[in-house]
Chain A
Amino acid sequence: MAIFADAINLTIVGKGLMVGLGFIGPSIGIGLIGGSYLKSVGRNPEAAKFFGQALVFVAIVELFGLLAFASTFIVK
């Protein structure tokens, strides 16, 4: 095990896993928001006026991805 620890820097692997896994959720969420916005506009073009509210929800979801990215700076 000590050989592995010398060969691979486990901190960097951990950071990579953290960012990669942490970005899965927000990307699915933003995709769902955008998809349902476009779907509702397709059904009812009047709904295009809710673009600002869709952006608000994108920003709320995005926070969790940013948190995952920011926590890589805590890992030493």
Chain B
Amino acid sequence: MIMSLIKTMAEDGPSIHVAPGGVFHLGGFVITNSILYGWIVSTIIIVLLSFVARKVTVKPKRGFTQFVEVGVDFISNLVVNAFEDKKVGRKYVPYFVTLFFFILLNTWFGLLPVVGEGFHSGESPLFRPFTGDLNSTFAMAIVTMVVVYVASVKESGGIRKYIRHFFVGSPKNPLYLVIGLLEMFTDLTRVVSLALRLFLNVAIGEMVIAVFSYLGQFAAPLTALPFTLIELGVGALQSYIFVILGIMYLAIAVNHSQAHDAEHADPEDLTEDDQPETIGASSTQSVRG
């Protein structure tokens, strides 16, 4: 019996999709399953969070409201503490909080049983998690890096001053020229690494769940459950990492240019600016709990 089971397994194998598949056409564009589910989840997020935002009071409430409050508080502390100037940090809180909840809820909604290989429309699954598609994570990474670049050009006061930071002293020194060009290229790879990290974690999680629910056959809910629970943790961790890396890139550029300004303005003041270029340690305490 076992031999026949192995034989049937080897013959068809679990159905796995890495790329998103088209579901229907809309005005000449193919609507893929990931963008379809992305629209659905975005609607849910907008409705849910604007409902929660009305319920927030000074006295803490229980349930989902509390969860959102804790998340907003955690990310805004993270952003504000990363910058030396708290006023500058407060400007970027809304973008990063939005990004965190968008990625977190998209990844978690992607773990529902309706999403993935279970329900097919034609050859491809009907729904696919929005973050499990390279196009969408690339879009998020590009938007994040554009925000980072625009903000750092603005904070350092002009594009010439910003580009000068790459070349340690002056671009006329050939060694500094090479180092500067290399640094600029390394900056561009951040987009790719941000996008690939989120996409691969979510897509491989989907694959692992598909493989184990296939291996379980009739006991699929039991065998896939532990991996689904692991994916909950992975989703939370990856959204945290996407956001904290964005904050880190922004904070390094902004703090660096402010340190230079301080250097030119008042040499006595430099002793105050020896903060390490890392994210505020006090805010990471709440991760442990």
A-side interface residues toward B, CB under 8 Å?
48-53, 55-56, 59-60, 62-63, 66-67, 69-70, 73
Closest 10 CB pairs of A and B: A52-B284, A66-B200, A52-B287, A59-B241, A63-B197, A49-B285, A73-B18, A51-B288, A70-B200, A56-B241
Q: Report chain B residues within 8 Å CB of A70.
A: 18, 196, 200, 203-204
CA distance A70 to B279 in the complex (A): 31
Q: Report chain B residues within 8 Å CB of A63.
A: 193, 196-197, 200
Chain B 177-204 against A: per-residue CB contact (8 Å), 1 yes, 0 no?
0000000000000000100110011011
From B203, B278, B282, B284, A51 is in contact (CB under 8 Å) with B284
CA distance A52 to B196 in the complex (A): 21
A66 x B244 contact (CB < 8 A): no
Q: What are 11 A-to-B residue pairs whose CB atoms are below 8 Å? A: A49-B282, A51-B284, A52-B244, A52-B284, A53-B284, A55-B241, A59-B238, A60-B197, A63-B193, A69-B204, A70-B18
A53 x B200 contact (CB < 8 A): no
Interface assignment of B222: CB less than 8 Å from any CB of chain A:
no
A59 x B204 contact (CB < 8 A): no
Q: Report chain B residues within 8 Å CB of A48.
A: 288
Q: Report chain B residues within 8 Å CB of A67.
A: 196, 200
B-side interface residues toward A, CB under 8 Å?
18, 193, 196-197, 200-201, 203-204, 237-238, 240-241, 244-245, 278-279, 281-282, 284-285, 287-288
A49 x B284 contact (CB < 8 A): yes
Nearest A residue to B284 by beta-carbon distance? A52
A49-B281, A52-B240, A52-B284 known, 12 other contacts, Cβ within 8 Å: A48-B288, A49-B284, A49-B288, A51-B287, A52-B287, A53-B281, A53-B284, A59-B197, A63-B196, A66-B196, A67-B196, A70-B203
Nearest B residue to A46 by beta-carbon distance? B281
A53 x B279 contact (CB < 8 A): yes
Q: Report chain B residues within 8 Å CB of A56.
A: 241, 244-245
Q: Taking A59-B197, A67-B196 as contacts, is the C-beta distance between A50 and B204 under 8 angstroms?
A: no
B284 x A50 contact (CB < 8 A): yes
From A49, A51, A55, A66, B197 is in contact (CB under 8 Å) with A66
Determine how close the nearest CB of chain B comes to the CB of A29; give it in whole angstroms. Answer: 15
Q: Report chain A residues within 8 Å CB of B201.
A: 62, 66
CA distance A28 to B203 in the complex (A): 24
Centre residue among A49, A52, A60, A73 by max chain B CB count within 10 A: A52
CA distance A63 to B193 in the complex (A): 8
CA distance A59 to B200 in the complex (A): 11
CA distance A63 to B160 in the complex (A): 34
Q: Report chain A residues within 8 Å CB of B203.
A: 70
Q: Report chain A residues within 8 Å CB of B200.
A: 63, 66-67, 69-70
CA distance A56 to B284 in the complex (A): 11
